[in-house]
């Protein structure tokens, strides 16, 4: 039986073409940093990015979470006139093979969001090596959840400031997608769509991107989640809004 046809949201070449065009218009640097599973991989940064006080944004580490990739791109396209003045470091798709094949994993069956200790993949290892010297004001990893019943987020540490911003981020998009009201998600306590995991208790399968960022790069760290079984348009819109609110509350827009 043939695989079901996937829409433009899984067209890696088209998405990267849109990023390339956007970066040229916005004055951002768009360059190839390596290859993963036969696909070129890209990094985007603004001319004002420095090793202190920047913004880290990533999507597509799980290829079956296309709404996150589209949301990141839509946010950037909406704000193209001011992107060059924001200290941005963006990884628009960390698993292009997974995106093309609608897979959470890479061809070897690895979950690339569980290898951020001593990475088994050259691309993730290269990113880890680069950002170890960076201190971000905020880092945001965009995800989707197959079992999700609404929007929710992870925020390691959970200081009062982080809790306040986290609540504002979710409130900003409740008219698009309501909060996930589950009391536990992946075994972690969830309160009104907010999970504040203890960094001392990482997932048993391995270290995720967000935990590496939290422990090595400082600042606020959010993992934003939308329900992947909902339509692609509201999911993308929700991600774009949550990015915007996150940066606004950190004084970056």
Could you tell me if residue 1 is inside a domain? no
| pLDDT-derived band at 11, boundaries 50, 70, 90 | very high
Q: Which of 199, 208, 222, 36 is nearest to 115 (CA)?
A: 208
- Asked if 29 contacts 46 with a C-beta cutoff of 8 angstroms, the reply is yes
Task: Look at residue 118 in the predicted model and tell me its pLDDT.
Answer: 83
pLDDT beyond 90 at 5: no
Residues of the domain holding 119? 8-249
Task: Look at residue 107 in the predicted model and tell me its pLDDT.
Answer: 97
More confident site: 10 or 8 = 10
| CATH classification at residue 119 | 3.40.630.10
- Asked if 122 contacts 34 with a C-beta cutoff of 8 angstroms, the reply is yes
pLDDT digits (tens, 9 = 90+) for 164-210: 999 999 999 999 999 999 999 999 999 999 999 999 889 999 999 99
Domain count, the chain: 1
Could you tell me if residue 195 is inside a domain? yes
pLDDT beyond 80 at 3: no
Task: Look at residue 157 in the predicted model and tell me its pLDDT.
Answer: 86
Q: Which of 143, 137, 122, 135 is nearest to 209 (CA)?
A: 143
pLDDT beyond 50 at 4: no
pLDDT beyond 50 at 2: no
Residue 87 CB neighbours (<10 A)? 19
pLDDT digits (tens, 9 = 90+) for 50-103: 999 999 999 999 999 999 999 999 999 999 999 999 999 999 999 999 999 999
Could you tell me if residue 55 is inside a domain? yes
Q: What percent of the chain has pLDDT over 70?
A: 97
The DSSP letter of residue 158 is: -
The Cα-based distances of 233 to 69, 117, 147 in angstroms read: 12, 34, 18
pLDDT digits (tens, 9 = 90+) for 96-151: 999 999 999 999 999 999 999 988 899 999 999 999 999 999 999 999 999 999 99
Could you tell me if residue 53 is inside a domain? yes
More confident site: 111 or 157 = 111
Mean pLDDT of the chain: 95
CA angle 238, 19, 117 (to 5 degrees): 75
**Model pTM?**
0.96
Please give the radius of gyration of the chain, using alpha carbons only, rounded to the nearest integer: 17
pLDDT beyond 90 at 17: yes
The pair of structure tokens assigned to 221 is 């760290």
Dist. CA 236–CA 176, nearest whole Å:
10
Could you tell me if residue 2 is inside a domain? no
The pair of structure tokens assigned to 175 is 């008219």
Could you tell me if residue 199 is inside a domain? yes
Could you tell me if residue 3 is inside a domain? no
């Amino acid at each position: 039986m043939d695989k079901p046809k996937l829409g433009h949201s899984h067209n890696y070449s088209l998405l990267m073409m849109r990023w390339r065009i956007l970066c040229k218009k916005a004055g951002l640097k768009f360059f190839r940093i390596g290859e993963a599973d036969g696909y070129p991989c890209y990094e985007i940064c603004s001319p004002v990015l420095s090793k202190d006080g920047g913004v880290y944004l990533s999507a597509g580490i799980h290829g079956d979470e296309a709404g996150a990739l589209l949301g990141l791109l839509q946010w950037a396209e909406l704000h193209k006139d001011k992107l060059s003045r924001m200290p941005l470091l963006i990884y628009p798709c960390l698993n292009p093979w997974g995106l093309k094949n609608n897979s959470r994993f890479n061809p070897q069956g690895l979950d690339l969001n569980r290898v951020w200790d001593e990475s088994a993949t050259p691309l993730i290892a290269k990113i880890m090596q680069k950002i170890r010297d960076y201190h971000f004001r905020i880092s945001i990893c965009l995800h989707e959840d197959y079992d999700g019943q609404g929007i929710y987020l992870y925020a390691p540490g959970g200081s009062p400031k982080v809790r306040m911003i986290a609540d504002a981020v979710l409130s900003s998009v409740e008219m698009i997608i309501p909060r996930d009201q589950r009391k536990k998600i992946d075994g972690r306590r969830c309160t009104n769509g907010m999970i504040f995991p203890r960094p001392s208790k990482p997932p048993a399968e391995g270290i995720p991107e967000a935990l590496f960022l939290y422990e090595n790069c400082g600042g606020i760290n959010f993992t934003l989640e939308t329900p992947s079984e909902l339509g692609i348009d509201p999911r993308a819109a929700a991600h774009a809004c949550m990015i915007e609110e996150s940066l606004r509350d950190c004084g970056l827009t």
